[in-house]
Amino acid sequence: MPLWWDGSEPLWVTLQKLGKKVFMYYWPGCEVEILSVRPSFCEKYVYNPSEKNLTDSIENALNVIRSGQAGMTAIYYEKIDVEGHHFGPDSPQVRTAVQQLDLAIQTLNRKIKEKNMVNQLNIILFSDHGMTKIKWMEKVIELDQYINMSSIAKMMDRGPVVSLWPQDNMYQEVHNMRVYGKQEIPDRFHFKGGRFVPPLTLVAEPGWFIAQNKAMLPYWQNDTGEPSAWQNGWHGYDNEFLDMRGFFLASGPDFKRNVRAAPIRVVDVYNVMCWTLGVKPLPNNGSWSRVEYFLNGSEGPSQPMTLCCLGLLGLLLALWN
Ligand SMILES: [Zn+2]
């Protein structure tokens, strides 16, 4: 749907337009034509990638960058998010998924050394959100207890954030969640100026889950055939809530070494990526002042013309614990 996809320009589209090739692995959206552009290579997103999917994509990404076939590669690894939703962020399943990722990153580091790419390759690892434990079925906000659902023209999603298009603009206080009219949405969400913002945005307090009612929620079928909790972890709560924090790690020639940076915002990552690729960022919500001090040469006036300094980007969805 061009209305949806063509609303903004992802970095890979900018790079392709500039003649720099991008190879993407399991990245949601890479299979779509955006502003008439596709990445040079796209391995379609999978919900539950295997360890082999991850290690193969790392190997391929390194090879295409080294051979000059790609100017940037991006890998998305969903496993930690999936296990976190299902079993909760503190579960042994999440720990195992993080250990698998850790092993894959160790392999990546070894290969970078073997291939003599240490001084040529910028690597950015980050998550786009954290995760918190939820009390499934104990902390459900059932909207149909507060409002007449037939007066709602449209309801989108369930969980920490729900969008409502009511027929009238009446609404009331509901415990354990905030109700925002368009203009009341906090600026720190970088949301209220969007094209698809509903008249009412509901945001649950941490640990709570908004739904029309409990009966409409699905269950996982576990091995015994008994219904068990569908979800034990979730994200999407207010970004001031510490559990929502992700992580950001970077190394390579464009990054100062051994710097422990103050927290950055997820909207800042784009500027960092553009810097390492020598591309002028499009207008965005990131703050250069939050990131420039950990970049090499950011005080100088000119961009380095090093096309060898290419980004390998892993987007990792998890609490890093
Ligand atoms: Zn998720």
For the cut 80, the answer to whether the pLDDT of residue 211 exceeds it is yes
All structural domains of the chain, each given as residue ranges with its CATH number in brackets, are 2-128+246-320 (3.40.720.10), 140-233 (3.30.1360.180)
For the cut 60, the answer to whether the pLDDT of residue 314 exceeds it is no
**What are residue 3's phi and psi, to 5 degrees?**
-55, -40
For the cut 70, the answer to whether the pLDDT of residue 42 exceeds it is yes
Distance of CA 253 from the midpoint of ligand 1 (Å): 32
Q: Model confidence over 216-273: pLDDT tens digits?
A: 887 655 555 555 667 899 999 999 999 999 999 999 999 999 999 999 999 999 999 9
Pinpoint the alpha helices (H) of the chain: 2-5, 11-17, 51-66, 79-87, 92-114, 269-277
Q: Model confidence over 141-179: pLDDT tens digits?
A: 999 998 888 889 999 999 999 999 998 766 667 889 999
pLDDT for 24: 96
pLDDT for 6: 92
Q: At what angle do helices 92-114 and 79-87 cross, to 10 degrees?
A: 170
Distance of CA 196 from the midpoint of ligand 1 (Å): 21
CA distance linking residue 98 with residue 321, whole number of Å:
8
- In this prediction, residue 37 has a pLDDT band, given cuts at 50, 70 and 90, of very high
CA distance linking residue 301 with residue 151, whole number of Å:
57
Distance of CA 26 from the midpoint of ligand 1 (Å): 15
- Mean pLDDT, to the nearest integer, of 114-133? 92
Across the chain, mean pLDDT equals 87
Beta bridge partners of 130: none
Distance of CA 320 from the midpoint of ligand 1 (Å): 15
- Mean pLDDT, to the nearest integer, of 180-204? 94
pLDDT for 224: 57
Distance of CA 51 from the midpoint of ligand 1 (Å): 19
Distance of CA 46 from the midpoint of ligand 1 (Å): 13
Distance of CA 170 from the midpoint of ligand 1 (Å): 32
**What are residue 95's phi and psi, to 5 degrees?**
-55, -45
- The pTM of this model reads 0.87
Q: Model confidence over 10-19: pLDDT tens digits?
A: 999 999 999 9
- Mean pLDDT, to the nearest integer, of 207-217? 89
- Mean pLDDT, to the nearest integer, of 294-319? 46
